[in-house]
Structure formats: C-alpha cells, structure tokens
Amino acid sequence: MPRLFLCEKPNQARDIGKVLGATRRGNGCLHGDDVTVTWAVGHLLEQAPPDAYDPALKRWSLDSLPIRPAQWKNIVRKDAAKQFKVIQGLLKQCSEVVVATDADREGEVIGREILDACHYRGQVSRLWLSALDETSIRKGLASIRPGESTVSLYQAGLGRSRADWLVGMNLTRAFTVLAQQQGFDGVLSVGRVQTPVLGIVVRRDQEIANFVPKPFWEVLANLQAHGGAFQAKWVPSNESWLDEQGRCVNREAAQAVAARGQGEQARVVSVETKRKREAAPLVMDLGTLQQECSRRFGFGAQQVLDIAQSLYETHKATSYPRTDCRYLPTSMLSEVEVVVKALLHSDASLSPIIERLDVNLQSRVWNDSQITAHHGIIPTTTPCDISRMNEAEWQVYDLIRRHYLAQFLSAHEYDQTDVQLDLAGERFVTSGRQVCAEGWKALFPRGKGKGQDDSDTDDDESTGAQALPPLRQGESCPVQALQVKDRQTQPPKPFSEGSLISAMKNAARFVTDERLKARLRESAGIGTEATRSGIIETLLARGFLRKKGRTIVSTPLGQALIAALPPQISNPGMTALWEQALDQVAEGSLSLDDFMQRQNALIDKLIGLALQQPRLNLPEMPSESCPLCQAKMRKRNGEDGPFWGCTRYPECKGTKPIGKKKRKSGSRKSTSRKRASGKAP
C-alpha cells in the first residue's frame, strides 16, 4: 500500500512530487512508485455554525448566549467537497500519511483536521520544510519527523480556532442584538484578535484628535572654531523651566540666555570621542519584513505576505516566510558558500559585493538558542530567475538577500564625539560623527528602492549628528549668531500598516494595568506572523478601518464600536495572554482541555459584561450597499446635500442618491457583478 504525502496546496505538491518521482497525474493527486502526493486547498474544513448544533440557534437572541458546543464539529467547505472526497479515498488505501502542509500551527491544523474528519488511524509522519527548492526538499525528506512530535502544535491550532469561534459567535451576536434593539441596522462584528487591534488604532486616533500642542523653546548657537563652524544647543539648568521631557517652556528664560550670549565666546569644557561599532542587522522575520517594506516602499502588510509567499512557492528564491524568528541555526553555516554562489549565479551584478564578503565571519545571527519553529527568511541554495520577478517581488527579494549578505561584512564603525561648552555661564552641547568603516552599511545606501525616502537607512537610527571640526578642551569659539527657536510638541503619528504590525507584535506596550503587564512577556503579541496582515484586511473590509494615503485610520463605525464595548474585550493585553497560553499548548506544557476551560470561564464573564452595557451610541446603517466594495452604507452629508456613502471609499459619494429606488442597467454595481461572474471585461 502506498505512502501518502498530504500537502497544503497543489504547487507545493508538484514540487515535492517531482523530488519523490510522483509525476503521473491522477484525480486530485500525483502518483509515483509506492508513493502518492495529494493536496488540500488551504482549509478544506471549517467550523460548523451554531445552528449545526441546534437549529433553534439560527435565530439570534440574548437568551441563547453563551453558545458553547459540547462536542466540536467541522463541516466540509462546499467549494472543497470534491478534493475532500479524493483525499478520503486515498486515506483508505495508504499505509502511512506524511503531513507535508506548511510547517506552522495553521499548516498542522489543515493536515490533521482532514485526518480526524476521515477517522484515519494509521501511521502519521511529518515533513518539515523551510524552503521549497529541490535541495531543501531532499534535506527534509532525509529527516522526516515522527507524527507525535507536532501533535501539540495541532492542539494549539484547535485552541486558537475554538477560542476565536467562542468570542466571535457569542460577542458578535450579543452586541448586534443589543444594537438592533436600539434601531441599529447592521452587524457588529467582534473578534478575539480583530477587536483589540481596532482598539489600538481607535485609541491612537483619539490621542491625535485630542492632542493640544504645547510650545517650547530652544536656543541654538552658531559658533566658529579654528577648524570650521558648528552649531550647539542650550541645555537649561533650572528645572522650573522644563517640562517632563526636559524641554524649556519658559520663553523669557530662553530669550534672556540668547541676549546674554550675543557677541560672547563659548569655551570648550570637554571633548570626548569614542569609537562605536554597529553590528549588522539580523535577517528578516515576516513582521520585520512587513514593517520595512511599509516604510521603504509603502507596501501593505498583506501585499508583503503575498509577495514573500510567491518568492517562497513560485520563484523558490527565499525560505519559508511565515516565521517569527530573525536568527539562523549554526548547522546552516555549512551552506553559506552554496547560498552565496546561488545569489551570484542569479544576479551577476552582485559580484563587487560578494568579492568583499568574508564567508567565515560568524555574526550574532547564528544562534541555536533563538531558533523557533523556523529560522529567519533568507535566500535559498538554488539559483532563481530574477527576470521573472515583477518590480515589487524584486524589491522584497533584494531586501531579504541584502540582510543575509550583511552577515558577512564587517561592523559599521564610527567615531562619536560629544562636546560640552560654556557660554555666558550656560551649558551648551553638540555632537558629531565621523564614519571610520562603512562595513555592512554599504549594502543599504540611502534612497535605495522606488518609493523610499532619502532619509531611509536600514537601521531606524536618525543621528542628526553634524560633521564637527577638530575641537580641543579650553578652546574659545566666537558666537556668530544666537537663535531662539519656537517649537511645538507633536501629536503621535497615525499608524501605517508596518507600524501597526509592530504594535501587534509588541502588545505589552499598550497595556496600562500593572497586574496584567506583570503577567505578559515583554514581547507579548496579538495574532501570529501568519495572521496579522489578514486581521488588518478584515478590519478594512468590515469598514472599521480605512486607508488614508500610507496610513490607517479608524472610521466612525470603528470608533463607535470600541466606545460601546467593555474595555476587557478591546484590551490588547487579554488577547496577548491568550496567545501566551496557546504557546504553552504548542509547547505541551498546557493541555487543550485546560485552555478551553479558561476560555469558557472568560466567555461567561464577557457575556455578563455585554448584558450590563448601557445604550450603545452607534451610527445609523441603512441596508443599501456601497457599489464599490459592497460594504453597508449610511446617510452622509455633502456639498450637494445628503447621499448614501460608506466609510471605506469616500469616492463613492453620489453613486446612490437618496430617493432612488432602482439602479439602472449598466450601473457600476451591475457592471461589477458581471465582472465578478466573468460576463464583463
């Protein structure tokens, strides 16, 4: 009886099948000698809706809450029924199943849930791949793992899915019914992960909207030394003049200092120069890649994930993208020369850079203790055809390979000079930087890449350091000019997709409750590398967030929803605690039953809080849909009078005038439907 490899997607199956010699096409599978390769298409199964447990639950009511399945059910997706039957038949004929889905929590669920649904009880093994090039597949096939080694990952995936169902089904019904009792026409979608993310954005937008700028003043001195001119800044010594950030808020004091210093000479009190070294940045994980691509190129989080997946699956150019690790195992040091040769073979223009590499250099990126389920994203050992990449794919690929090559260049070195001066009895300071060795920074020139600001560099450091002339202690520097600069405090910046991903990765920063903060790891996050971009897309699609240029802002509906919810539901710390517990399940230190007991107790508490809510203050939502995005619309006022509009697309203004009952044939809505069905170009 043949060995069956169960993959996540058809193209993955083709890559593995080619190495196994399984190239004969069958019905939903590939056959070889004593081996068959088949595939899912993502999740073939989905969580059953509440009415699958009890038909009475089809009606939404507060009396039926909380809904808590005693025995969890999955159902086959309608569009996947054919392939599910194929796999079901193949499982009856095989002697062993090798789960070859993506090597992460969701991949484990995709494979194992099929085996459970088909009541498969035979031998199970696990193929764990970090890349889909031929060399990596052969390496993985040579070290197939026993199935028991990843069972806990499946348990964690089930826990995530069931916790999401409990929160989503119960709280969405609770708040939607409460809102509808008050005349609200729409669905209030509440989620275990999406709602805290929405809360982070809403609270940031509120900080910006409520921000009141406060003035402060700086005194800048333009000075002349023997070796050239430079600028220094006043450091106030009187604490009563300072705000909590150390800024001078006493204008008269600043003006008095400037007046006293006019025509005087500043004396150099101290000059301290230190040689500093900056190590190369680590290789990318998905979150960091999304942040950098957002900053450099303005790419969205989902766009970056799709590109990284394409580089992994289609081009075989980079390793597995959905990783939360930025380190590499020391065992991969033996592959360095192979990877570098593959990069040169793929792109001969790299020759000047590669000639400068020291492939024997072992940077901090090689650290076995930091490796999680996957290592960082790096180029593969197989050459790729860069001519087949589109511009966006090339930009992401180039960023990934530069972070890898940086590991084999020397540290960036510079001399940091800090100077203190005395001017009319007041302290002034300045600093300068002199590059001694460019090192790895030669790989990241300013302005590299379309859409990148000239100020962008690989690290986030913005030194603002000037090139200082040679200065010595005791030297006198005549004052050329003294300026009092009027400044204002600035509001926090709105989120971009990249900075929102960063906020989701570090949710502990947004927790103010000291008891909760104490229970959270410093790096506690919301969602996973694989799901964060999808969460943002969901909030955009449901009209809770919208894009505004390169930034993401909350809509009135999103703001109203967060205002209506108990803070426990939108608290990022609660969700981060759930993720920590899921990590414990994946590690095997917490059972799935114990995890679910905690979730059941929590859902009881959250439903109780929901039922105690006062009247919800939500905007009216009519039943019409936006012709551009099909989102629910509401009455808005414009220059030409009221019209129906949605929060996602302001440009839909005027497409549905009030009082118009029927849409003419050929309208934007009917045309979009034709395009969706393939009947329009």
Where in 425-505 does DSSP place strands (E)?
Answer: 426-437, 476-488, 495-496
Tell me what percent of the chain is helix, strand and coil, each rounded to the nearest 5: 40, 20, 40
Where in 162-264 does DSSP place strands (E)?
Answer: 215-225, 228-235
| CA 237 to each of CA 214, 231, 248, 254: distance values in angstroms, whole numbers, following the listed order | 20, 19, 10, 11
Evaluated on CA atoms 503, 411, 339, 392, the torsion sign reads positive
188 with 179: CB under 8 angstroms? yes
| CA 274 to each of CA 120, 278, 351: distance values in angstroms, whole numbers, following the listed order | 66, 13, 34
Could you give the CA distance from residue 232 to residue 37 in angstroms, rounded to a whole number?
A: 69
Radius of gyration of the chain (CA): 30
Alpha helices (H) along 210-285: 251-261
Evaluated on CA atoms 149, 153, 154, 156, the torsion sign reads positive
Helix (H, G, I), strand (E, B) or coil at 518: helix
Catalytic residue annotation: 320
Counted residue by residue, the chain has a size of 681
| CA 433 to each of CA 250, 464, 614: distance values in angstroms, whole numbers, following the listed order | 31, 9, 59
Q: Which residues contact 259 (CB under 8 A, 6 or more apart)?
A: none
Q: Which residues contact 444 (CB under 8 A, 6 or more apart)?
A: 402, 406, 457, 458
Give the pairing type, strands 96-100 and 3-7: parallel
Question: Angle formed by the axes of helices 151-181 and 105-117, to 10°?
Answer: 90
447 with 182: CB under 8 angstroms? no
Tokens read off for 70: 């005693």
306 with 550: CB under 8 angstroms? no
Could you give the CA distance from residue 324 to residue 412 in angstroms, rounded to a whole number?
A: 26
DSSP state of 657: B
Half-sphere exposure of 422 (CA within 13 A, CB side): 8
| CA 54 to each of CA 68, 71, 312, 607: distance values in angstroms, whole numbers, following the listed order | 11, 12, 43, 20
Helix (H, G, I), strand (E, B) or coil at 556: helix
Could you give the CA distance from residue 452 to residue 455 in angstroms, rounded to a whole number?
A: 8
Q: Which residues contact 152 (CB under 8 A, 6 or more apart)?
A: 585, 586, 587, 588
> What φ, ψ does residue 550 adopt, rounded to 5°?
-90, 0
Q: Which of 533, 536, 519 is nearest to 575 (CA)?
A: 519
497 with 290: CB under 8 angstroms? yes
Helix (H, G, I), strand (E, B) or coil at 148: helix
